[in-house]
C-alpha cells in the first residue's frame, strides 16, 4: 500500500488529515483500520494509506495494496496474493497503536 508516512505515528490533526486526503481521488472509499489489539476502543489516526478494499461480510473487510504495488513487490504478493474481484480503491486510516 502506498503510505504517506506521518513521523513516528504522531496523531494526525484535522488539518493534516485534510491535506493528506486531498492527494487521493475523491471516489476512493475511506476505510478505518481496527486498532492493533482488536478492541473496539478509539485511537487517534496516525497514517493514511492508499490501497484496495474488499468487504468480507456486511461489517468488515480486508485492505490490500494497490495492483501497482502488487505488480512490483514480491513480498506484497506473497502476503496478500491476488486482489479479489470485488476490491475497490480505498484510503485506509490507521491508528497510532
How open is the CA angle 61-67-32, to the nearest 5 degrees? 30
Number of separate domains in the chain:
1
Measured CA distances, 73 to 35, 55, 70, 78 (Å) = 25, 23, 5, 9
* Residues spanned by the domain of 9: 2-95
pLDDT confidence tier of residue 6, bands split at 50, 70 and 90? very low
Q: How confident is the model at residue 96 (pLDDT cuts 50, 70, 90)?
A: confident
Asked if pLDDT for residue 89 goes beyond 90, the answer is: yes
Cα separation, 21 vs 61, in Å, equals 21
pLDDT, tens digit (0-9, with 9 covering 90-100), for 19-74: 999 999 999 999 988 766 666 678 888 999 999 999 988 778 999 999 999 999 99
Amino acid at each position: 500500500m502506498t503510505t504517506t508516512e506521518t513521523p513516528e505515528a504522531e496523531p494526525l490533526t484535522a488539518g493534516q488529515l485534510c491535506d493528506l486526503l486531498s492527494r487521493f481521488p475523491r471516489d476512493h472509499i475511506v476505510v478505518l483500520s481496527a486498532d492493533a489489539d482488536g478492541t473496539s476502543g478509539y485511537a487517534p489516526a496516525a497514517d493514511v494509506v492508499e490501497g484496495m478494499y474488499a468487504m468480507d461480510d456486511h461489517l468488515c473487510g480486508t485492505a490490500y495494496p494497490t495492483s501497482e504495488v502488487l505488480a512490483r513487490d514480491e513480498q506484497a504478493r506473497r502476503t496478500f496474493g491476488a486482489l479479489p474481484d470485488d476490491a475497490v480503491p480505498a484510503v485506509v486510516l490507521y491508528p497510532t497503536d
